[in-house]
Amino acid sequence: MTDRVLLTGISGFLGGHVALALLKAGYEVRGSVRDLKKAEKVRETLARAGSDISRLEFVALDLTSDAGWDEAMEGVRYLQHTASPFVLTMPEDKSELVGPAVAGTERALNAALKAGVERVVLTSSMAAIAYGHDKTRTAPFTADEWSQIEARPQNAYIESKTRAERRAWEIMDAAGRHDDLAVINPSVILGPLLDEDEGTSAVLIKRLMNGSIPAAPRIPITCVDVRDVAQAHLLAMTKPEASGRRFPMGESALHFIDAAKLLREHYPKHRIPRFEIPDWLVRLYGLFDRDVRDNVGELGYAKRLDSSAAIALLGHDLIPSRDAILATAESLVRYKIV
């Protein structure tokens, strides 16, 4: 069998960086996109980033359709399943996000098992670990913990990531192949963009830089650099110590006001907030703005992750959150997004 990897979600922010890491490591990459019209842009982006795109091919796959999955797995040794819906604005109907996330995981893993793929690396999230717990807690969240979505209902994104990852473990356990799954659970992924597509995570930094947030809410964000997350995906694919394990990844938690201060130091001409908005005013504003309302529960609550397993896998400390934020900002400026 060739060292071919099926990478779902290759056109996404993380998917692009995972493709870059795989190609630089010498693998053949079969990237999936919903529409093959996207393939040429992805090819150009990866070539510009220094990849050998002669080992890159594309297939059309949809998380909500059975079409093409068996064919896409032909000759594939490893599966990197990074594709999953990610939004900042939560849908009115949770099933719009939860359904595709779970169904896509089922389709990807069942096709991989049917084809005899050696190992699956799944992109999950800290959203599947650190939510619905007691807010007085200060200890870091570990790989042994799960978000409490039944006892304490959470938003659609948290539920989608939790249910999709749980389903992945169920599928692998039922097949007797628990140890052939490795899961990466990153916090908010920031870092350098590969092209002018800002994706979703970078919108947080964009909003701090373009004047759309006049004052910063007292919400901490736990960050990790996309370059570390991509490298963890690469290593989890073959390292024996990644077998059957989850890898939480979060370098540190910064309040929005601290991120704003950092950005002001480097981009003084941008309209970056200087003050923190009181919690009561955020809650009041949330009565009229659904995006704000969905995040009111995070006011003042910093979540830390035990990233020791990921650090051991990588062989080095995680890139500091400050560097990830500044790398995001530099990309937003370079591509004239802000």
- Give mean pLDDT, residues 171-191: 98
How confident is the model at residue 91, as a pLDDT? 66
The confidence score (pLDDT) of residue 296 equals: 65
Distance CA 230, CA 163 (A): 23
Residue with tokens 């089922």: 106
Helix 202-209 crosses helix 321-334 at what angle (to 10 degrees)? 70
Q: Give the chain's mean pLDDT.
A: 92
pLDDT score at 117: 98
Q: What angle do CA 109, 195, 226 make, to 5 degrees?
A: 50
Q: What is the C-alpha separation between 4 and 245, in angstroms, rounded?
A: 22
Q: How far apart are CA 168 and CA 103, in angstroms?
A: 10
Higher pLDDT, 9 or 89: 9
Residue 238 has phi, psi (to 5 degrees) of: -130, -20
> In angstroms, rounded to a whole number, what is the distance separating the alpha carbons of residues 332 and 338?
6
The domains of the chain are located at 4-334
Structure confidence at residue 223 (pLDDT): 96
The CATH number of 4-334, from 3.50.50.60, 3.40.50.720, 3.30.365.10, 3.40.50.920, is: 3.40.50.720
State how far the alpha carbon of 273 is from the alpha carbons of 119, 208, 257, 298, 331, in Å.
Answer: 45, 7, 8, 19, 20
At residue 146, what is the residue type? W
pLDDT tens digits along 230-256: 999 999 999 999 999 999 999 999 999
- Give the single-character DSSP code of 277: P
CB atoms within 10 A of CB 35: 9
Separation CA 307–CA 279 (nearest Å): 30
Reduce the DSSP state of residue 247 to 3 states and report it.
Answer: strand
- The pLDDT of residue 88: 55
